[in-house]
A and B are shown apart, each in its own frame.
Chain A
Amino acid sequence: MKQKRNRVIPGFGLTLGITVTMLSLLILLPLASVLIRSFELTPAEFWETITRSNVVGAFQTSILCALIAAAINCVFGLILAWILERYEFPGKRLIDGMIELPFALPTAVAGITLAKMYSDQGVLGQALSRIGIQGSYSRVGLVIALVFVGIPFVVRSIQPVLRKLPPSCEEAALMLGASRGFTFRHVILPELTPALLTGFGLALARGIGEYGSVIYISGNSSKNSTQVVSYVIMQKLNSGSADYVGAAAIALVLLAISFLLMFLLNLVQWFAARRTR
């Protein structure tokens, strides 16, 4: 422990006080109230609430679609990060500057736009239906929306690592006679794995809880298994009887999943930091 006993820089107490107070009042206390309110249910009721078929179905839909979308994003995110860092081509600066668009564009706007684009009236929806795929109001649409919101996470996780990895590494491998595929798998990919996992995890966490961008395109039908967990929670809040406690119970499970993901992400980063040391 090389803790500085005599702190030269002032402000420790003040900033600690501000940080902890604001964090507690604005974030932790509200979250704790979700936990406390869900304890109003007996364990049996709690179990019954979270194992209802529509709730389990929603969890399956959210997790499965977020997984698929995050995997798709890993592929395209890697390609985008790669061409942005390694090649010169016209329009590159524009693409680099617009990668964060899904962060900046309100999710509701993205949601209604994608829903129309991939519906039967949209150009892309018609193209998809010609090859027998229903875009909007299906799980395909849900995945498309999640790909949209998740892509910046992957690109922005990989870019800094690629920037630090000199092209001479790949060039050396190629010079020594390795094929492009071999170089990619054995030289580049191992370096990128922690960043790729981080991007995957962030996109996944975002996808599992996503609301605004998916509710319009998914159709929210429990029969077609296109309801997501966030939608089920919101439905409980807005229904006539306003089942707050039930909503809190489902939210608690969703929170647990998010925390587990966060923990795994921290673990990845910790391993990555240890490996490079």
Chain B
Amino acid sequence: MKQTKKARLSAGQIALIVIGVLFFAVMLVWPLVEVLYRALKGGWALYWSAVTAKTTLSALRVTLLAAVIALLVDTFFALAASWLLTKFEFRGKSVLTTLIDIPFSISPVIAGLAFIMMFGRSGLATPVVNWFNDTFGTDIALVFSIPGVVLATIFVTFPYVLRELLPAMNLQGCAEEEAAALLGAGGFTIFRRVTLPHIKWPLIYGMVLCAARAFGEFGAVYAVSKARGETFTLPLEVDALYMSGGAEAITQAFAVSSLLVLLALVMLILKNIAEWRAKKSY
């Protein structure tokens, strides 16, 4: 096996490698370098002031909050749904699977629009929210507010954890769980003691992908978030700085972007670790 791989590469093979590597370098690596270069163009002082600006820190808080809540909701859903989809056969299973995948293939802008249609001015569920606020004396707003940002983030990231969990759960089958159930173990015990140890790394892998997507969501959040410094996430802050047009503001936009690049790289590293551990555990 080793021998065939070590065999000398022909000219055609080298050409393919060169094309592939060049494409990778120009399309994927170059943009990363470009972000850092443009972020530091105005010097460290400007970079530091952009990164520590009040609006940036507020955006960072909102981004992390939305991502953490979305991650918890998606993970909870993924655990329940993967149990349902891999341990049982039932009618309508394939329809359910298809419906869960919807957020993958639709425009994030539609997700934002959908929440405005639900909870915005003359939205379908607005009377319900108003009634709730009147009855309990609360002041909850579900769009153009932090909850709206969270809901939009949940929508776009919804199937991510499940997608990574399903293959692992399928591979594992049901034999061990059935044995545990026949021996008298309860549902949660089976899950915690039998299933979870097997799916730990695929689960973490899915959660990392989900978090990465949540940090970067733009279109959906853009539709339901209008207040800079309050409900803006980091990508929206980048947009606001970039669109304001001045050369300095654009440098600041790239400085804030560099934070997101850093987050993305950390996520990629975590993803590779989880992937590697998942492979090892089989």
Chain A positions within 8 Å of B, measured between CB atoms, are 2-4, 7-12, 14-16, 18-20, 22-23, 26-31, 33-34, 36-37, 76, 79-80, 82-84, 87-89, 91, 95, 97-110, 112-114, 116-117, 122, 124, 147-148, 151, 167, 180, 202, 205-206, 208-212, 216, 229-230, 233-234, 237, 242, 244, 247-248, 251, 254-255, 258, 261-262, 266
Contacts and interface: CB of A to CB of B under 8 A. Distances in A.
> Which of B16, B20, B23, B121 has most A Cβ within 10 Å?
B20
Range of interface residues on chain B?
35 or more
Given A23-B100, A83-B20, A102-B28, A255 B109 contact: no
Nearest to B269: A97
B260 A209 contact: no
A29 B99 CA distance: 12
A11 B87 contact: yes
Contact of B80 (A4, A18, A124, A210): A18
Given A9-B88, A31-B102, A103 B123 contact: no
A260 B282 CA distance: 37
A266 B28 CA distance: 30
Given A87-B13, A209-B106, A30 B118 contact: yes
B223 A237 contact: yes
Interface string B80-96: 11011001111000001
Contacts of A208: 107
A88 B265 CA distance: 24
User: Which 9 pairs between the two chains have the least Cβ-Cβ distance?
Assistant: A209-B107, A106-B216, A30-B114, A211-B219, A212-B218, A15-B84, A18-B80, A10-B187, A104-B264
B171 interface: no
Interface string B7-39: 001001100110111011011111110110010
A122 B35 CA distance: 12
A23 to B, nearest CB: 6
A211 B116 CA distance: 18
Interface string B256-280: 0100110011011001100000000
Interface in B213-265: 213, 215-219, 222-223, 234-236, 238-239, 242, 250, 253-254, 257, 260-261, 264-265
Interface in B56-75: 73
